[in-house]
Amino acid sequence: MAKTIINILFIMWYLLPANTTFAYTHADTLRGSNGRGRDWWDVKYYNLVVVFDTATKSISGENTISLAVTKKPVDSMQIDLQAPMQIDSVELTTYGDDTVIRHPVNFKREGNAWWLTYHFSEWTQGTTKDILIYYHGKPRAAVNAPWDGGFTWTKDTAGNPWISVSCQGLGASVWWPCKDAQWDEPDNGMSVAFTVPKGLKAVSNGKLLRVGDEEDMQSYSWGVKNPINNYDVTFYIGDYVHWQDTLMGEKGQLNLDFWVLRYNEERAKKQFEVVKPMLHCFEYWMGPYPFYDDGYKLVDAPYLGMEHQSAVAYGNGYKMGYLGFDRSFTGVGMDFDYIIVHESGHEWFGNNITAKDIADNWVHEGITTFSESLFEECIAGKEKGQKFCRGEWNNIRNDKPIIGPYGVNTEGSDDMYDKGAAIMYMVRVMTNDDEKFRAMLRGLGKDHYHQVTTTQQIEGDISWHTGLDLTAFFEQYLRTTKIPQLEYTIKNNELNYKFNNIVTGFTLPITVSADDGATTTIKPTSEWQHIKWEAKGDVKVTKDFLIKVKK
């Protein structure tokens, strides 16, 4: 019964966004586009400092934005910070020989965007500047983290405060001021410092630099050396215990850190044994772990999970599968802990390779969902890996295209997960050469290392690496909701066939067989074709493509 209830709840969640329409506003455009207040500057570094008041569930802090002027500026700069958070003051920081000079900067709110005005137009292209922003507020609380986003203020089973944030899609500006745009990561990384009540620990991205005492408070400072998505910047505050390990990977020694609630330590050490073989598997298929400088962390979180870079959120209840059930409905999905594998896979696709616009987030979710089947293949063989991936296709709804509208901070269909995985599976089948396919995955990681990109670039690179013309293929599965239908007839020892419901130029190499073992490969188009078919019995169509079949 419990498994049935979980399945129903998951399906209800999966169906929530279906058939929903939106009227996009000026605020959506401000958030989702590279407008006049954003396009002349590039983030180089963030220095974020936050103090937590657990009694009032509020925060106060400051963020220094180190930026480079990339073109002739206008006299306004857009900074994002969502209501009900408030900016208190803004300063331009300049440096003398032995002095720091702070120049007041004017600011005005427009919804969740703030317009800073100063003599920016006098700045010279190629120069670097520091903008310091002081702010405070009571951040939005998440109702159903991680999907709706915001702060989770809760207590562990021992009664200790347990606090974290999840904000993918909603945006990091829900809790700190920044350029909240997926295409502009801080090129040189960032530093974060969190001050929390004594007795609690604050875990974040990167490496722990120092711990400081401040009367009844304690501060934890972390350093991130690599570029990082804003939504990946995070914290975990609680009664944590910590242990370390190392892995000898493709680029040498990788530091592994595990932070779990005190009473979870024993079972966590057992559940997290999967991390080493998983990382070896992913390095084999997708290339070296992308963040050796910052290490790999797995952290107990008060919600299901999130791909926070170098500090992966874990909340799967120490169960196999997805909260104890199999998303693929094949039985294979119970071979591994879904959240550890899926969220860690994002270190390669999502964190290393990042889509410029969230409309292209299938690059994150689809390829990472496919990576689950690669891990199953590593532990149980190719047949089971493929079975798992095909099973997840049962979750595909085709409610709307995978790619969403650009420039308004909106994703496409949640089919980006399982239909996106189907796309990668089918590319592998069409490549028909696992070494070439593996070289393609590793090539993507190398060619787009620590970069933001577009789906067009990824599509082109996949086609180049595999040697396949995938133009119509990507158009069909990414930009339409059409599922190709193979229609066929058998008459007078002829197999007649064609595709319905396809875009111009679409075809697939479909393997068909008969009861007597006869097999052949056909390449249907929108026009009827025929071949001699003297085999006995009906036609059996390969399961390796996301198509429908009509006799």
Could you give the domains of the chain?
38-180 (2.60.40.1730), 343-479 (1.10.390.10), 485-550 (2.60.40.1910)
pLDDT higher than threshold 70 for residue 16: no
pLDDT at res. 23: 81
Enter the tokens of residue 199.
């007795």
Interatomic CA distance for residues 511 and 519, integer angstroms: 7
Mean pLDDT of the chain: 95
Residue type, 204: S
Interatomic CA distance for residues 84 and 432, integer angstroms: 53
Interatomic CA distance for residues 168 and 165, integer angstroms: 10
Residue type, 94: T
Query: Mean pLDDT over residues 178-196, rounded?
Result: 98
pLDDT at res. 13: 41
pLDDT band at 536 (very low <50, low <70, confident <90, very high): confident
- Helices 418-431 and 455-466: crossing angle, nearest 10°? 20
pTM: 0.94
pLDDT at res. 15: 40
pLDDT at res. 22: 59
pLDDT at res. 214: 84
Query: Mean pLDDT over residues 346-363, rounded?
Result: 98
Query: Mean pLDDT over residues 282-286, rounded?
Result: 98
pLDDT at res. 168: 97
Tens-place pLDDT, residues 389-448:
999 999 999 999 999 999 999 999 999 999 999 999 999 999 999 999 999 999 999 999
pLDDT band at 514 (very low <50, low <70, confident <90, very high): confident
Tens-place pLDDT, residues 453-494:
999 999 999 999 999 999 999 999 999 999 999 999 999 889
**E strand or H helix that includes residue 108:** strand 106-110
3-state secondary structure of 417: coil
Query: Mean pLDDT over residues 367-375, rounded?
Result: 98
pLDDT at res. 243: 98
With a pLDDT cut of 90, the percent of the chain lying above it is: 91
Q: Which residue has the tokens 């990414």?
A: 478
Residues in contact with 20: Cβ distance below 8 Å, sequence separation at least 6, in sequence order: none
Contact (CB, 8 A) for 355 and 453: yes
pLDDT band at 538 (very low <50, low <70, confident <90, very high): confident
To the nearest 10°, report the CA torsion of 314, 316, 319, 320: -80
pLDDT higher than threshold 90 for residue 104: yes
pLDDT higher than threshold 80 for residue 14: no
- Helices 418-431 and 362-380: crossing angle, nearest 10°? 60
pLDDT at res. 138: 98
Interatomic CA distance for residues 290 and 277, integer angstroms: 17
pLDDT at res. 1: 40
pLDDT band at 2 (very low <50, low <70, confident <90, very high): very low
pLDDT higher than threshold 90 for residue 97: no
- Helices 418-431 and 382-392: crossing angle, nearest 10°? 140
Query: Mean pLDDT over residues 29-58, rounded?
Result: 97
pLDDT band at 21 (very low <50, low <70, confident <90, very high): low
